[in-house]
Structure 1
Amino acid sequence: MTEDTADLSPADRAKRAAARRSVDFVRDGMKLGLGTGSTAVFMVRALAERVAAQGMDVTCVPTSEATARLAGGLGLRLSTLDAVGRLDLTIDGTDEFDPRLDLIKGGGGAHLREKIVATASDRMIVIADPAKQVATLGAFPLPLEVVEFGWQVTRRLVAELLADHDLLGQTVALRMAGDAPARTDQGNLILDLHLGRIGDARALSLALNQIPGVVENGLFLDICDMVIVGHPDGRVDIHGAHGIVAPGQDTTDGIENLFRDADA
């Protein structure tokens, strides 16, 4: 099950390094949330490898049908959030993160389930390559999951709202999958907001979610506890709320100590 890095791009080698480091924080008996996306694929594979090698007993709640298929196919035990209740840890990727560890997620269209699972977890670890680190959120388009009924009215209301916020851009685009609109696992549509820079992410998140027809936005604020950034050479940096807590860290000192340092 071990992956060969010879054919991986530098970005994928970085993602793999972060993913493999993240599963060091998994403990026997944990209930885990499994993220969605290209970086999460590396994490699920690394987790399955560790569980099989060490005979660990973990229960996994996937954040998408794609992750469920991958994890189930690798032999991980799956359950639902309703069945397990509170989760110990969620590990997921991101499209952007800033110095506060606030995120934009939803490039894979799973941000609704990802946010539900993350907020039901005691801790959230995010895994990323260096390109995902930004000074201010907004370069990556902000996804909005919206219901299909009246979606063009919803889009117009969103566009009107953006004019009142501190943003560099205000373009609202329906996400497409070929010739048809892209759909989430809930069957909803996605509007991508091309904003350039978000001046006040908290005000924008609150305002967007008050528009009828908007199900959820891709701003993950005050949810992430730690970001593990991988590098193509296999090094990782661990970012807490007050900066890098373990430059070049490549060993496990214990989940409790590292989370304590991240919160300090």
Structure 2
Amino acid sequence: MTGYAPTWLALREDADAAARAGELLVPLRAHLPPPGEPLVIWDLGCGTGALGRWLARRLPGPQHWVLHDSDPGLLEEARANAYRTADGTPATLETREGDLTELHAADLVGASLVTASALLDVLTAEQVDGIAAAACCPALLTLSVAGRVRLFPSDPLDAAIGAAFDAHQRRDGLLGPDAPAAAPASIRRRGATVATRPSPWRLGPAQAALTREWLRGWVGAAVEQRPDLAEPAAEYLRRRLGECDAGRLTAEIHHIDLLALPGSTS
């Protein structure tokens, strides 16, 4: 799996926090251990720990977080940031370096919750099946790319760029925008209940820095997938960046959040 640059993760942290479907925390809390019993939370592909910083303060303490990532630099940065629980007490942190797709159920014994952010769409169906089989506790899996982008104002090249980007996301058997359908099916086969909610980025002038970087990556991946788009895409990107700089561009980049409750019938 390819890691993400810390600068990109920092740039998107506020947009991720605003997008996450907080309503899924209501049924999640009902399936966690009783108040006062420590929570053990595994964050798969934790990056710099943005999801943990968002979630820890929305769950009761005490909490112990296991931060799992293949990038030792990201793990070091994640561990350097304080996690505070809902009552303001610090959570304890532990880092695990390794390939999360090699986790087994034995690794997650004792976990109260498994979490991940922007992960499912960069996995294959087999890898998602493996994680679903390993996690025998609730799982909150956020911000999976849904394959729907809306830009205002619209542009004639929007659809072609979007389709090429989606094809790029599916390269080498990765799920890409198919993840929001494939993951629930895999989890339900193991007897769990799955709830999903939309978690779109809504980017306007206040998020111009993020929009610019997202545009460059979106268009760049589309051209990598379809080199024949290179010339029109270069002009398209110039137009879009100009609109962004002028405060005239807004974007909705759609994602899906997923809550899995093993053994639940509700």
> Shorter-chain TM-score category?
0.3 to 0.5
Q: Which structure's residues are more often helix, by fraction?
A: 2
Relative to the length of structure 2, the TM-score reads 0.38
TM-score scaled to structure 1, two decimals?
0.38
